Amino acid sequence: MLMKIIYTIVSKLKKFIFVPFCFGVFFLGCKEGKVRVYRIPKENILEGNLQWSVPSGWKEQGASGVRLARFEAGTAKGSADVSVVMLPGSAGGILANINRWRGQVGLGPIDEKSLQSQLQRVPSSAGELSLVDFSGVNSQGDNSPVRMLAAILFDGETTWFFKTQGEPSVVIAVKPTFLEFLRSLRFAGK
């Protein structure tokens, strides 16, 4: 009998404790907090790391998106866009990136065996670059003729991509200065 009385008392007390507790949690939990925004300065990964000399006639366009640097490479025939992108690690490897670029100019993929015949080696103080030169069509636009020069530099921890693409006669005219740009690559302090 005593147990029944104690149980009844505890049951009634629960209601008196539980209901205020729930309201307290609800009102405290729904309290509007301030949203805080923090601006963390982007580390300039180019500064004190990979450096280059900008060829005469090229105009810096500034970084945008994943592009760490952009240039307009001007010639008498027009200008081409040159970009620099850096990704951590091997970034998928040379073959995967070359096949992605081939797709961008309407060409099919190649295999590892065919890859070696597609590569030109370009020496620089930063290391040897693998360069490809493709002609095709603008598969993401009006199917106009397009040419692409793209180079990859893997420094052991990072993969650097250097690319210019545009109207074929312009890219052909830009190629000597693009190669000059690639040969000027160097790491600060090395």
Band (pLDDT 50/70/90 cuts) for residue 137 is confident
What range defines the domain where residue 69 resides? 50-187
Rounded to an integer, the average pLDDT of 169-181 is 94
At residue 146, the 3 state secondary structure works out as strand
Say what the pTM is. 0.70
Beta strands of 144-188 (E only): which ranges? 145-154, 158-166, 186-187
| One-letter amino acid for residue 86 of the chain | M
pLDDT digits (tens, 9 = 90+) for 1-55: 655 666 666 566 565 665 565 555 555 555 555 554 444 333 334 444 889 999 9
The number of beta carbons lying within 10 Å of the beta carbon of residue 136 is 18
pLDDT of residue 3: 59
CATH number at residue 138: 3.40.1000.10
Question: d(Cα 121, Cα 183) in Å, to the nearest integer?
Answer: 11
Give the Cα separation of 125 and 138 in Å (integer). 33
Predicted local distance difference test score (pLDDT) of residue 41: 39
> Residue 12 corresponds to which tokens in the numbers above?
């009634």
In a domain, 73, yes or no: yes
The total of structural domains in the chain comes to: 1
